[in-house]
Amino acid sequence: MIQRAGAGNPGPDPADQPQLYASLNLSEKGLSREVFQFAMKGHHKLEYNGKLRNNGILTIVDFSQSSRNKRLYVIDLLNKVLLFNTYVAHGRKTGDEFAQHFSNVVGSCESSLGFYITKQECLGSSVGLSLILDGVEKGFNDNAMKREIIIHGAAYATENFIRRTGRLGRSLGCPSLPPDLIKQIVETIKEGTCLFIYHQDKQYISRSSLLN
């Protein structure tokens, strides 16, 4: 059973980061130590400020990787287990195989970088079961709810789609997942966990209030 830590309760010790990164074999799964450290830094700040209802789960989306890679990681920080490692699509105007452009603007069809807090699940009229995301970084993703940026399943976010086209399909800006995993992942990360969407974008890295 997954242990859950709430706001105000102790989460993972930042001093354990190197050991945790190694024990989860994240390097072999394509996630760099630097990206993991960025994610943990922001997670710790959100936890310290009482923003997380569940400190024990951290989701990382690494858009510096090819969309052919399994670049979404859901980590149980308390039990030290990598729960999911799967495909995730970026916005159609963010790039083709690789993500390159990001926006916080309504109607941009681009992905937004930064830290989010997961909210409740919902049923979309066209996408089915999905998860509402609240972007907490002003200027980078704080229009997420206005843009209706959600986690949802999509047939274009599958290995079969990669075989046909050489890359994943693309969304309207949402981090879309394989349909067969959407229910499990939503149930695991909903209601107050931290989600970090990363790219080696210099403007974001230098200006993010949670990384600096």
Structure tokens belonging to residue 38: 């960025």
| Lowest model confidence (mean pLDDT) among 5-19, 171-185, 189-203 | 5-19
**Parent domain of 193:** 14-207
Per DSSP, what are the bridge partners of residue 102? 111
Determine the Cα–Cα distance for residues 45 and 173; give it in Å rounded to an integer. 26
Residue 167 pLDDT exceeds 80? yes
pLDDT at position 6:
55
DSSP reduced 3-state for 196: strand
Asked if the structure places residue 8 within a domain, the reply is no
Determine the Cα–Cα distance for residues 143 and 32; give it in Å rounded to an integer. 28
Q: What average pLDDT does the segment 161-165 reach?
A: 98
Per DSSP, what are the bridge partners of residue 57? 76
Asked if the structure places residue 33 within a domain, the reply is yes
Asked if the structure places residue 1 within a domain, the reply is no
Determine the Cα–Cα distance for residues 137 and 120; give it in Å rounded to an integer. 19
Asked if the structure places residue 9 within a domain, the reply is no
Instruction: Encode pLDDT of 114-158 as tens digits.
Output: 999 999 999 977 899 999 999 999 999 999 999 999 999 999 999
Residues 6 or more apart in contact with residue 173 via CB below 8 angstroms: 91, 94, 103, 108, 109, 110, 111, 112, 147, 149
Residues 6 or more apart in contact with residue 211 via CB below 8 angstroms: 38, 41, 42, 205
pLDDT at position 76:
98
Helix and strand element counts for the chain (H, E): 6, 8
Domain of 144, CATH number, reads 2.40.440.10
Instruction: Encode pLDDT of 29-82 as tens digits.
Output: 999 999 999 999 999 999 999 999 999 999 999 999 999 999 999 999 999 999
Asked if the structure places residue 125 within a domain, the reply is yes
pLDDT at position 12:
66
Structure tokens belonging to residue 168: 């994943």
| Lowest model confidence (mean pLDDT) among 7-16, 140-149, 198-207 | 7-16
For the whole prediction, is pTM greater than 0.75?
A: yes
Asked if the structure places residue 5 within a domain, the reply is no
Q: For the CA atoms of the chain, what is the radius of gyration? A: 16
Residue 8 pLDDT exceeds 60? no
Number of domains in the chain: 1
pLDDT at position 3:
46
- Give the pLDDT band of residue 11 (cuts 50, 70, 90): low
Residue 2 pLDDT exceeds 90? no
- Contact of 194 with 58, CB cutoff 8 Å: yes
Residues 6 or more apart in contact with residue 142 via CB below 8 angstroms: 104, 135, 136
